[in-house]
């Protein structure tokens, strides 16, 4: 019941996702085309397959359609001069996409903003941090990395840190992306689901895209908005399955013990087929993956 979005080239992959209305913002389409996924994976043969892939540090890079979905939801807040936080930045792929959306040097510039934008990626696996920087360099973004004086309109910083705490020194952020499932902070009495340590680092206005695991073990993507008055609202938009947002030791233990299975979920309510679980042992079980079949209404 699902369209396949895989392509033979990066452009074809992006165009297939756009053709199925997974991406509706032309700025996001252009940004995704600027970032060649081949530079951010280990298995070059499957670089443009719409499925998660194993990378370094017992981690994975999520399926292209999940990255595209995140960029689409965050796109209203990804403008030249914006500050963005990517929690669990992994391969560095989304950091590159975000960079092109906030850089005034890009052809997708939509305003004459003079403030320098910044993308901050945090990951607790040191080897991933180093590898992601080399990936960004391969993708032509050396000048944007870590304080390079040549980075005139935007920069990218990749840091080794506990993503559960965000990165307060560069906050507040216009947009925050979280690449692993946080534990719901709802105590059963109607409290917020989203991680409040990260919500506090959102600018007013600002938006966060975060997978959250509920008390029953189900996971949903929450879009968390903070308005100009600092009032926070959150909305569950997709059923998903992500690896947990945890510390380095627990992450490695999870993979070694093979506790996480690759799963696909079908949300019967809005007919969205989602694959967002990443597993280094069981990636072979993924059926070349798929895009959502139905059109999705983005806010």
Q: Which are the catalytic amino acids?
A: 62
DSSP annotation of 62 reads P
Whole-angstrom Cα distance, residue 267 to residue 223? 17
Q: What is the DSSP letter of 51?
A: S
CB 23 within 8 A of CB 72: yes
Spell out where the chain has E strands: 53-54, 60-61, 83-87, 117-123, 154-160, 173-178, 182-183, 202-213, 219-226, 232-240, 265-267, 272-274
b/e string for 262-288 if b means 16 or more Cβ within 10 A? Answer: bebbebeeeebbbbbbbbbbebeebee
Mapped onto helix, strand or coil, the DSSP state of residue 263 is coil
Q: How far apart are CA 246 and CA 185, in angstroms?
A: 14
Going by C-beta distance under 8 Å and a sequence separation of 6 or more, which residues neighbour residue 234? 192, 193, 194, 222, 223, 224, 225
**Using an 8 Å Cβ cutoff, are 92 and 104 in contact?**
no
């Amino acid at each position: 019941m699902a369209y396949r979005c895989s392509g033979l080239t990066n452009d074809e992959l992006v165009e297939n996702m756009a053709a199925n209305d997974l991406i509706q913002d032309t700025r996001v389409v252009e940004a995704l085309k600027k970032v060649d996924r081949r530079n951010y994976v280990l298995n070059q043969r499957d670089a443009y397959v719409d499925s998660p892939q194993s990378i370094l540090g017992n981690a994975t890079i999520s399926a292209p359609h999940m990255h595209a979905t995140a960029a689409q939801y965050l796109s209203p807040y990804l403008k030249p001069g914006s500050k963005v936080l990517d929690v669990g930045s992994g391969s560095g792929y989304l950091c590159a996409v975000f960079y092109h959306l906030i850089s005034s040097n890009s052809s997708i510039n939509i305003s004459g903003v003079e403030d320098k934008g910044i993308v901050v990626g945090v990951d607790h696996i040191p080897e991933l941090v180093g590898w992601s920087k080399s990936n960004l360099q391969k993708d032509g973004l050396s000048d944007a990395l870590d304080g390079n004086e040549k980075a005139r309109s935007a920069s990218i910083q990749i840091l080794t840190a506990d993503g559960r705490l965000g990165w307060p020194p560069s906050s507040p952020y216009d947009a925050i992306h979280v690449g692993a499932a946080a534990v719901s902070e709802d105590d059963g009495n109607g409290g917020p689901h989203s991680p409040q340590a990260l919500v506090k680092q959102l600018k007013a206005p600002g938006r966060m895209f975060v997978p959250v695991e509920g008390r029953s073990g189900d996971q949903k993507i929450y879009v968390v908005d903070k308005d100009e008055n600092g009032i926070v609202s959150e909305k569950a938009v997709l059923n998903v399955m992500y690896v947990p947002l945890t510390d380095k030791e627990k992450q490695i233990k999870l993979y070694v013990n093979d506790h996480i299975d690759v799963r696909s979920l079908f949300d019967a309510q809005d007919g969205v087929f989602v694959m967002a679980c990443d597993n280094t042992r069981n990636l072979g079980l993924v059926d070349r993956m798929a895009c959502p079949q139905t059109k999705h209404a983005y806010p």
